[in-house]
Structure formats: C-alpha cells, structure tokens
Structure 1
C-alpha cells in the first residue's frame, strides 16, 4: 500500500508538471553566433546545472506587474560555479527558443541591462533595463488578429533579435519576455534572463526614458497590461507596455 501511494504521488507530480509545461513555460535555450546554449531546466535543482541563463523555477506566469521577481523570474539567482556568460559581438543575432507554447495573443519584448562589474554578481532587480526589440498586434483586431506571440509559435517557438551594433562593449543581461493577455484583465508575464559578454568598438549607451527598473517598468494601469481584449472585438491597435525601443 505504501508503495502504491508513493507511485500515485510520483505520477501525480509528473502529470502536474506536464500540464504546466503544456500551458505555460519559458525560454529553454539560445542560439548565439552559431553556438547553442542550454537554458536552465525548471523544476530541477540548480546544483550541477551549467547555463548562461539565470535560475527560473516554475512554468507559472507572474501576474503582478509589481512582483519582486519580475526582472528575471523566480528566483533569478546565479548558478554559482555553473553560471556562464556567452560572448557575442554587437550587431549579432540571438535566437531564444521557448518550450512548446500554446498562447498566441500578446506581445514579445526583449531587453538588455548593463552590469557595472560581472553580471554573475549582479542583482537583476537593481539594474536599469532598456528595450531592444518588441512586437505586438501585427494585424487584425485584438481577439482575432495576428500577434507577435502567434508568430513566435509558428516559427518553431523561437524569436530572433539583433543586439544594437553600436552598443558599448561590456557585460550585459538579455531579458526575453512574453506578455500573454488571453485572459481578461489578468496579465501573464513570462521573463527569463541570460548573461552576455558583448564585444565590439561601439560606445553607445541608452539613457533617460529608455531605462526602467523591474519591478517599476510596468503598472497595472498601463493600457497594454490590464486589458480585456474580448470586450473590444473591433479594436485594431494595441499599446505595448514599457519604454520605447532603443536602437543605438
């Protein structure tokens, strides 16, 4: 009986994780300058994992725009001896791969943040983030149109972004984020972060209104955050939250 109880419990946990994976998720790997980097494996201990990605522990969304872990998800810690940083030249492309993703309504956003020293020792909630890429409602109306998240799904659950070519060299985080808005008035944020060492001869750095903190970059009152798309069936525009895109 004890064995049967333990077996049922194990199967239940496995099914729960499978259901979570089927409905939610995050970035599971990156392709950078021809090299593939394995992402952090959620629901597994960080001990022994090696990745450029910071730890994220759950497929569940963050639903509070003021959450303390909005910068790089729960819990956003570095992996200690297993923490890597990928070297990439400014102007290069980075492709982030997500687990099989069912949601197709919402924007895709990509941010970076410069570390004053090594990114491994940085606290991500204290950094200033700037947006390098975004896409929202591509065509059509809010509940039925084509969204960036739908394009991500159709493109093998991936999103490719170019690092600004004039960006100054240094250590940076890259932060990929999906904002699923298919549930009325309940935003679902899915952010994950990876560490980079950017090379090149550029000297540009964003400043002023291009920079935000997380939490702090979004508010529940933002028109693109708390939104009921189904009550606006003929609206054909959407305001992506956060700062303007900095292109160097």
Structure 2
C-alpha cells in the first residue's frame, strides 16, 4: 500500500505524529492464489504513480508492505514501512476527504480484517485491505478535484528520499537521493525504485 500526507511547510521540520495519511494505491492478490508481493521477492520494483491532479505542496510518501504469513494469530502481522519526501508542483486541486484519512500509529487495529487473517491459507481467499479506502480524487471522482478528466499532465515531482529509522512514524530530512529513487506524476509515469532492506515494525 502507498499513503501520502501533506506537510505543513517543509517536511524536514514537519511533526508527522499528527499527520493525516490518505491512500493512493493498494495491491494484494494478482490471481486467486498469487500475491503482488511475489514480484518483490524476485526483486522487481514496486511502482506507484502520484496522482496527476493532486494539489501542489510538500508531501511524505509512505510505502508499506504487510506480511501475513503469521497473521493467522492476533498480533502476527508484520509491517514494513519506508518513506520519502516529495515536493510537488503544478496546479491540481485534488485532496482527500475527512473519511479517507488516518493516523499512524492508530490507523489499524490488531483484530481488523486485513491485519488478523485466520483464513488466509483457506481458498478462496477474500482479502480486505486495512485502513481507509483509496482516496476518491486519485481516480478523478472527488468533488475537490476540478481538473479530473482533463487529461492535463502536471510537472513531475522531485524527490528527496531518506529511510525512516527508530520510529513508527515517518519524519524525513533532505538528502542527496542516496536510494536513487525517482517518482513521477501522471498516468504515463513509470517510477524507478531500488530495493532497500525492510525493517520490521509492529503497531
């Protein structure tokens, strides 16, 4: 899953403990018994497209993997988040609604669907993603987005990625792009990622 939150001013000094995160992407089962995570196991990149209609500003992007092999027991799910910060230009107006945001920690509970999955090995698998739904404006259906369906491509976002460490929240400082990560905007964008070691967090 990929979440974003808009920083109040610079992300380098933003207190993310009160951040309101909205979801822009979620990927789970590709077939009835094949998970998207199988692509990551063979070191394929995890691609995400920043909505071309998003309002400009400073943002954090949270990329999160939830590992479910032990989620048949309460508290068994494993969380692997990583964050980068983005400076987004353009003239978009897309933004999430109040029912499409959550905070970390607190976005999930140990017993909700998608976190506690006692039947994950029993086909047919019906997986429910945890957290809020993907924000409506991402697909151009939000009233807050006056540019939806216009086909106008906004300028690409610039990124300054830094892994988060020592915290369950994402707070980042500027860097010289040590991870080689490029994130672009719009339907035709193809971000390029380099794999980074996952850290285990438990909420």
Runs of 4+ in 1 over 6 A off after TM superposition: none
| Deviation (angstroms), 1:138 | 2.0
Tell me the residue number matched to 1:125: 17
**Is the counterpart of residue 236 in structure 1 residue 111 in structure 2?**
no
Pick from 62, 86, 97 the counterpart of residue 175 of structure 1.
Answer: 62
| Deviation (angstroms), 1:229 | 4.1
Tell me the residue number matched to 1:149: 37
Mark the structure with the bigger radius of gyration. Answer: 1
Deviations 1:55-90 (A, max 9, x none): xxxxxxxxxxxxxxxxxxxxxxxxxxxxxxxxxxxx
Tell me the residue number matched to 1:245: 134
Aligned counterparts of 1:113 and 1:229: Cα–Cα separation in 2: 32
Aligned counterparts of 1:180 and 1:162: Cα–Cα separation in 2: 23
Moved more, 195-204 or 166-175: 195-204
RMSD of equivalent CA atoms: 1.5
Aligned counterparts of 1:113 and 1:206: Cα–Cα separation in 2: 10
Gaps of 5+ in 2: 141-203
Alignment of structure 1 residues 26-45 onto 2, 5 Å: none
Alignment of structure 1 residues 218-237 onto 2, 5 Å: 218-229=108-119, 232-237=121-126
Tell me the residue number matched to 2:29: 137
**Is the counterpart of residue 163 in structure 1 residue 50 in structure 2?**
yes
> TM-score w.r.t. structure 2 length?
0.62
State whether residues 172 and 197 of structure 1, in contact with CA within 8 Å, keep that contact through their aligned partners in structure 2: yes
Alignment of structure 1 residues 41-52 onto 2, 5 Å: none
Gaps of 5+ in 1: 1-108
| Deviation (angstroms), 1:223 | 1.2
Query: Could you say which structure has the higher helix fraction?
Result: 1
Aligned counterparts of 1:245 and 1:234: Cα–Cα separation in 2: 26
**Is the counterpart of residue 214 in structure 1 residue 104 in structure 2?**
yes
Query: Could you say which structure has the higher strand fraction?
Result: 1
State whether residues 182 and 229 of structure 1, in contact with CA within 8 Å, keep that contact through their aligned partners in structure 2: no
Aligned counterparts of 1:137 and 1:237: Cα–Cα separation in 2: 9
State whether residues 139 and 236 of structure 1, in contact with CA within 8 Å, keep that contact through their aligned partners in structure 2: no
